[in-house]
Amino acid sequence: MSPKSEHEKKYIENLPYSSAVGSFMYLMVCTRPDIAQVVSVVSKYLAYPVRGHWEAIKWIFRYLKGIINAHLKFRGKWILTNYVNSDFGGDLDKRRSLTGYVFTLGGCAIS
C-alpha cells in the first residue's frame, strides 16, 4: 500500500503523520486505552503512509474531540481482572498472529 504517484508522495510528505501517531501513542499509554487498537493499526504504516491512513488519523482526532469530557468511573470493588485473546495469522498484511489484552480495575479498562 505504498504511495502510487508522485502527487500522493508529496501530499503525504507534507503531513505530520508520524508526529500524530506518536501523540496518539502517548495518549494511549497514559490516559486513553480505548484507542489502543486503532493506534496499533496506524502505527504499522509509519514508513509508507497513504491518503487512507491520513484519513484514519483524522478520524481518531474527531473521535477524541467527541469524547473530550469522558473519563473513567470506578465502581464497586477494586478487583483487578485481565482478559487475553489471540488469533493465528490474523494480520492480513503480514500473516502474523495478533494478541491483545485488557486489564480492568473496578470495571474500567486501565491497560
For residue 36, the model assigns a pLDDT of 86
Average pLDDT in the chain: 83
Residue 28 has pLDDT above 90, yes or no: no
Q: Which is it for strands 80-87 and 108-109: parallel, antiparallel or unpaired?
A: unpaired
Measure the CA–CA gap between 57 and 51, rounded to whole angstroms. Answer: 10
Measure the CA–CA gap between 51 and 90, rounded to whole angstroms. Answer: 24
Measure the CA–CA gap between 36 and 24, rounded to whole angstroms. Answer: 9
Q: Which residue did the predictor score with more confidence, 72 or 15?
A: 15
State the helix-helix crossing angle for 17-30 and 36-43, rounded to 10 degrees: 150
Measure the CA–CA gap between 105 and 111, rounded to whole angstroms. Answer: 9
For residue 99, the model assigns a pLDDT of 80
Residue 15 has pLDDT above 80, yes or no: yes
Summarised one tens digit per residue, pLDDT across range 38-83 is: 998 899 888 888 888 899 999 999 999 998 887 767 777 788 889 8
Residue 1 has pLDDT above 70, yes or no: no
Summarised one tens digit per residue, pLDDT across range 29-48 is: 887 878 888 998 899 888 88
